[in-house]
Amino acid sequence: MIILLNCSFRGVNSNSNSFLERLESLFEEECERIHLNQMKNIEELTGKLKEAKALVLGMPLYVDSAPAQVVELMEGLYESYQGAFPGLSVYVVSNLGFYESRQIHIQFQIVKNWCVKMGVTYGGGLAIGGGEMMGGLKSVPLDQGPNKQMGVGMRKLAKAITEGTVTEDIYVEPSGFPRRLYMLAADMSWGRNVRKNGLTKKDLYRRPD
């Protein structure tokens, strides 16, 4: 059993969930996807982890770290269940708004340190740069267009999970989509959001009173 834990509080509508869906499609064995924002208590997860061979944490990058709800979960598991999952391997699929996926390396290190404390194996992570854009490309096959690097990385991670092995952390960006175009698209989206909230572009540059 592979547990895919969507750690974004945006739940089923999150990019994290979208990437976990993509990863799940690469497995032939039984998987269960759980949404952290729907969990009533930690015991809902721990019972499943005792039977699972792998836990995949799907989450965004928040302020160069793991989201607060993930930190809270890790602390709760450490306090009450340290050493309870000796055969478990933990993997990460993380995305961020920055184009440069290397920004995620601190988050990966946090999960590695937690795995050592828990007595479980850190199996590796997949960092996806330009996550807001990549999460919206659900209709584009994994190995085509901007998804090409992500497809290679996801297949490599899926192979490690299936085989129960460890892989080095994998860092990917949108394929064939240069950073300057990504930044241009991001700037245009700011304008749309400003208008949606009844403001103008000038409001972005206004000094606070």
Mean pLDDT on 54-81? 93
Mean pLDDT on 118-142? 87
Mean pLDDT on 170-198? 70
Please report the pLDDT score of residue 90 as a whole number. 97
Of 143 and 106, which is predicted with more confidence? 106
Q: Tokens in use for 182?
A: 């990504």
DSSP summary character for residue 129: S
Please report the pLDDT score of residue 145 as a whole number. 86
DSSP conformation letters of 47-71: HHHTT-SEEEEEEE-BTTB--HHHH
Q: Which of 20-29, 49-58, 163-172, 176-185 has the lowest mean pLDDT?
A: 176-185
**The pLDDT of residue 129 is above 60:** yes
Please report the pLDDT score of residue 162 as a whole number. 96
Pick from 38-42, 81-85, 130-134 the range whose average pLDDT is largest: 81-85
Mean pLDDT on 140-161? 91
Mean pLDDT on 73-87? 93
Please report the pLDDT score of residue 139 as a whole number. 82
In tens, the pLDDT along 33-52 reads 999 999 888 988 999 999 99
Is the separation of the CB atoms in 76 and 24 below 8 Å?
A: no
The confidence band for 131, taking pLDDT boundaries of 50, 70 and 90, is confident
Angle in degrees, 0-180, between the axes of helices 105-118 and 68-81, rounded to the nearest 10: 10
Share of the chain above pLDDT 90, in %: 59
Residue 4 to residue 64: CA distance in whole angstroms: 22
Please report the pLDDT score of residue 203 as a whole number. 67
**The pLDDT of residue 188 is above 60:** no
Mean pLDDT on 62-87? 91
The confidence band for 32, taking pLDDT boundaries of 50, 70 and 90, is very high
CA distances from 112 to 7, 85, 121, 166 (A): 17, 15, 8, 12
